[in-house]
């Protein structure tokens, strides 16, 4: 994989009779005291099952929400432990751990036993990457594995300082798969290589745009960040979201990469997201008191044409206000085009909450090569920024 040497993996460790401290991403939404979406729990199962098969006792850790360093019963991982037990088909204990009770001793566990510790972010030392909290957490394991790609870009104790206390800190199967798949885009991908980037703000995606413009044959821009580029072309944007302080950077990107950077040809506009009629207009046309909220049919067709011939595809971010069905067609169309290209042999990598939601809502999950579990982490990786949770792991 580019940017980093291959890391030790779970399979490289000798775990028989050992306690494995396993950092996972179980940051699942809760509703009425129960897990509302267990997809992240299911993603953690292979690491837990493999570690048990290797003879380890498994101490699972995760964060949930943003409790800001203080215990919050509404963000307890206890419901997660209950659902994890159902999915695993084996008992899953629940312990306060150093985040819930800093004076608690690590539990005595037999090989094959699993315990989930309380929300790491209940302790302020987690987000501060505090050495003392990392040391207290490290006492719960003889070996360490990070399988939480979604947190790998955070310099937090459980993924950084804690991992560095283990000479053979390793990557779990989920983290390993993410690095391999995303690494394809930064290495020597099969061509043509097409990237699709959406979302609200250019500022959020600018490092990724710059990185991918140096590698991709085509970078397609959608979502609200389209309008900062439109403003850079001195075209009307109405009341669409424009980052005025990023117009100059957008203009330079258009000047330097006009052969590879493509904006939508048309868009769907309305007076407001929740009111008024919807009109399809050329991208440079919009009433002064209207706003663009989705890519239009011509843009969908043009983007699909680029994807039709692609051999490698990276997609991150929605094409419009995906939450509203009136403005979801662009994102859904891209999801289908990516799936169809994958069926023709392309390698597709999709990340970002709305992009993943569009894929799943369309029933296309099984038709994408790789669904990335980490929105912020995948963006940081593609922007070639260091990931503390990966740098802390031992090289193979």
Q: Which residues form the catalytic set?
A: 40, 201, 353, 376
22 Cβ neighbours under 8 A, 6+ residues apart: 47, 48, 51, 58, 59, 60, 61, 141, 144, 145, 147, 172
CA distance 41 to 304: 33
Nearest to 294 by CA among 327, 271, 334: 327
Helix, coil or strand: residue 157: coil
- The residue behind tokens 């590879």 is 260
DSSP-assigned letter for residue 152: T
CB 197 within 8 A of CB 215: no
Paired with 282 in beta bridges are 266
**Nearest one of 14, 38, 15, 16 to 27, comparing CA atoms:** 38
Report the DSSP beta bridge partners of residue 94: 116
Q: DSSP state, 381?
A: H
Tokens of 83: 């659902």
CB of 194 within 8 A of CB of 221? no
SS3 207: helix
């Amino acid at each position: 994989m580019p940017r980093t040497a291959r890391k030790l993996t779970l399979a490289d460790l000798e775990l028989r009779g050992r306690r494995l401290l396993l950092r996972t991403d179980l940051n699942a939404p809760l509703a009425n005291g129960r897990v509302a979406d267990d997809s992240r729990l299911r993603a953690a199962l292979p690491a837990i099952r493999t570690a048990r098969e290797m003879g380890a006792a498994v101490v699972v850790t995760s964060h949930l929400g943003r409790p800001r360093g203080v215990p919050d019963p509404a963000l307890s991982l206890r419901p997660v432990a209950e659902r994890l037990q159902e999915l695993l088909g084996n008992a899953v204990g629940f312990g306060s751990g150093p985040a819930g009770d800093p004076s608690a001793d690590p539990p005595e566990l037999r090989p094959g036993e699993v315990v989930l510790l309380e929300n790491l972010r209940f302790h302020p030392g987690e987000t501060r990457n505090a050495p003392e909290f990392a040391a207290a957490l490290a006492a719960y394991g003889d070996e360490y594995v990070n399988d939480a790609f979604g947190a790998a870009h955070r310099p937090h104790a459980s993924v950084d300082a804690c991992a560095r206390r283990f000479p053979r800190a390793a990557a779990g199967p989920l983290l390993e798969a993410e690095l391999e798949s995303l690494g394809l885009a930064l290495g020597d991908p099969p061509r043509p290589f097409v990237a699709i980037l959406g979302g609200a703000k250019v500022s959020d995606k600018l490092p990724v745009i710059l990185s991918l413009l140096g590698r991709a044959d085509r970078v397609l821009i959608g979502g609200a960040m389209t309008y900062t580029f439109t403003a850079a072309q001195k075209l009307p944007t109405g009341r669409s979201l424009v980052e005025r302080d990023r117009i100059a950077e957008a203009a330079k990107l258009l000047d330097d990469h006009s052969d590879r950077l493509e904006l939508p040809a048309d868009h769907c506009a309305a007076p407001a997201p929740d009111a008024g009629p919807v009109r399809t207009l050329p991208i440079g046309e919009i009433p002064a008191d209207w706003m663009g909220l989705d890519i239009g049919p011509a843009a969908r067709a043009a983007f699909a044409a680029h994807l039709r011939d692609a051999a490698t595809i990276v997609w991150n971010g929605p094409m419009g206000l995906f939450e509203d069905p009136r403005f979801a067609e662009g994102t859904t169309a891209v999801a289908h085009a990516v799936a169809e290209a994958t069926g023709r042999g392309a390698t597709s990598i999709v990340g970002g909450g709305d992009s993943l939601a569009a894929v799943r809502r369309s029933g296309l999950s099984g038709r994408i090569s790789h669904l990335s579990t980490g929105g912020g982490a995948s963006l940081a990786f593609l922007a070639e920024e260091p990931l503390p949770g990966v740098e802390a792991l031992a090289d193979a």
